[in-house]
């Protein structure tokens, strides 16, 4: 039985590392979820705080943190938010009607932009913010309606525009369960269910450590 404990520790370490990575974004990657709702379209951009300073003009010479976000960065990010994406519907510009920015998790930032509900056919989403990022930056964009993923596209500096067709059957549907834009700017986890999983994993590690310690004492 004793030979199983090193293997168990390897599995626990791998699981905890995977859970930690899932909650944070790489500095050269981001995710954009586009939600089609009955009366509006919501665009959520989630990226690491590390490169986010480059999205503003004349940012403070300090990193984005929980302590300085509201005072030093929130207004700057809200000002820059409308220019992050260039969206057209049948080649006509679609402009945001509301924006918000909030800390996400322990290392990320989320931009939320609200647009009028698209009623045309061809939706083109240009991730203009990528041009402000370092070489090799990638953005994974997904178009969603309710719990259904309609399509996705990997955007990069030489391919920042994603064009997709909105067919009649996906233009008008029942409301989704996704939260609407709010004025709440508190920190929250992107993947909330990972917190209880991480706690459970930590408790399991403590139990296995205690068993291993008792076995070591018994064999000595």
pLDDT in tens, 38-87: 889 999 999 999 999 999 988 999 999 999 999 999 999 999 999 999 99
- Tokens coding 136: 């090799």
Q: 71 with 155, same domain?
A: yes
Residue 128: per-residue pLDDT: 97
**156 and 171 assigned to the same domain:** yes
Give me the percent of the chain exceeding a pLDDT of 70.
69
Q: Which domain holds residue 6?
A: 1-23+191-220
Structural domains counted in the chain: 2
178 and 197, same domain (yes or no): no
Over range 76-101, report the average pLDDT: 96
Query: Does the reported pTM lie above 0.75?
Result: no
Do residue 168 and residue 62 come from a single domain?
Answer: yes
Q: Are residues 133 and 213 in the same domain?
A: no
pLDDT at 181: 43
**Of residues 146 and 12, more confidently modeled:** 146
Expressed in angstroms, the distance from the first to the final Cα of the chain is 16
Reference 148, options 177, 117, 168; nearest CA is 177
pLDDT digits over 163-211, tens only? 998 876 664 433 333 334 433 333 223 333 333 444 555 566 677 777 7
List Cβ neighbours of 19 (8 Å cut-off, separation of 6 or more).
194, 197, 198, 201
Same domain for 170 and 92 = yes
In terms of pLDDT, which residue wins out, 115 or 217?
115
Same domain, 38 and 120: yes
Same domain membership, residue 129 and residue 152: yes
pLDDT at 13 over 80: no
55 and 84, same domain (yes or no): yes
* Inter-residue contact 33 to 142 (CB < 8 Å): yes
In this structure, are 65 and 107 located in the same domain?
yes
Q: 44 and 107 share a domain?
A: yes
User: Are both 147 and 213 inside the same structural domain?
Assistant: no
């Amino acid at each position: 039985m004793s030979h199983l404990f090193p293997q168990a520790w390897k599995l626990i370490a791998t699981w905890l590392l995977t859970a930690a990575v899932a909650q944070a974004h790489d500095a050269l990657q981001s995710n954009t979820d586009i939600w089609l709702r009955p009366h509006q379209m919501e665009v959520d951009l989630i990226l690491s705080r590390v490169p986010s300073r480059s999205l503003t003009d004349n940012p403070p010479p300090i990193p984005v943190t929980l302590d300085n976000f509201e005072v030093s960065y929130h207004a700057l990010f809200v000002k820059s938010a409308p220019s992050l994406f260039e969206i057209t519907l049948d080649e006509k510009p679609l402009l945001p009607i509301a924006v918000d920015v909030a800390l996400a998790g322990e290392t990320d930032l989320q931009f939320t932009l609200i647009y009028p509900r698209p009623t045309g056919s061809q939706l083109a989403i240009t991730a203009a913010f990528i041009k402000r990022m370092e070489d090799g930056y990638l953005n994974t964009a997904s178009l969603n309606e309710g719990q259904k993923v309609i399509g996705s596209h990997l955007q990069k500096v030489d391919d920042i525009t994603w064009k997709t067709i909105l067919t009649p059957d996906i233009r008008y549907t029942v409301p989704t369960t996704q939260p609407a834009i709010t004025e709440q700017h508190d920190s929250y986890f992107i993947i909330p269910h990972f917190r209880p999983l991480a706690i459970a994993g930590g408790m399991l590690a403590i139990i296995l450590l205690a068993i291993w310690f008792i076995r070591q004492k018994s064999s000595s």
